[in-house]
Amino acid sequence: AMNETVVVPLNNATTVKGVCAALGISHEGFTTDKFYNNVELHDEKYKMEGSNGKTLVKTRFGPPKSYERALAKEKEGIAKLGEKWQGLRDLNRVTFEFEDPLILTLVYHALVTKYNVYGLKNKFSNDIYATYSQPPDIHMNLDLGEGWLVEVQLMFSSILDIKKELHTYYDVIRASEPRVIFAPLFEKAPSLV
């Protein structure tokens, strides 16, 4: 649903005003600014690296959380927060990937307009995250309807690359026993010789 309602219209639009119209969001804050009024979205600086020339945003859908991990996370949440624990919010996950803050901002506004926001963290904010334990992003939990919650991350491509590398360490820390990680942790870089 998010691809059809957000990604496809954005990737097909050519101007900020066109994006706002396609996504059903107000263009007031964007098109009153002289800079945004003249932005050609398919200029090289907005496009995704290695894209077909039209891609401004990509989505990556994570695999659903395994039953075992869901149970473990539920137990951890209850142990940590007790009655304040509100349950799992990340059984389904999607990452929106961008090269440019303008495109991230447009997608953010589209998501909060189209879906009910159940949780929101701005991990770019220095006020909240003075030291980073995770790569910075906009982290949201959205209700797609009837209580179906999905974890959404809005992230820049280069930060996503760093996150992928960090996830290997996360897997090591979370390993239930040593044999789980008895394999090369990283792919070897190709030889230059």
Summarize pLDDT for 20-56 with one digit per residue, the tens. 888 888 777 665 666 666 677 766 666 666 566 678 8
pLDDT of residue 130: 62
- pLDDT score recorded for residue 155: 92
Lowest average pLDDT, out of 30-34, 65-69, 98-102, 164-168, goes to 30-34
Q: Check residue 184 and give its pLDDT.
A: 66
On average, the pLDDT of the chain sits at 77
- pLDDT exceeds cutoff 90 at 154: yes
Percent with pLDDT over 70 in the chain = 71
Quote the pLDDT of residue 45.
66
User: Is the model's pTM score more than 0.85?
Assistant: no
Confidence of residue 10 (pLDDT cuts 50, 70, 90): confident
Tell me the pLDDT band of 186, cut-offs 50, 70 and 90: low
Comparing 30 with 136, the larger pLDDT belongs to: 136
Q: 3-class secondary structure for the chain?
A: CHHHHHHHHHHHCCEHHHHHHHHCCCCHHHHCCHHHHCCECCCCCCCCCCCCCCCCCEEEEECCCCHHHHHHHHHHHHHHHHHHCCCCCCCEEEEEEECCHHHHHHHHHHHHHHCEEEEEEECCCCCCCCCCCCCCCEEEEEECCCCCEEEEEEEEHHHHHHHHHHHHHHHHHHCCCHHHHCCCCCCCCCCCC
Looking at mean pLDDT, say which of 73-77, 79-83, 135-139 comes out highest: 135-139
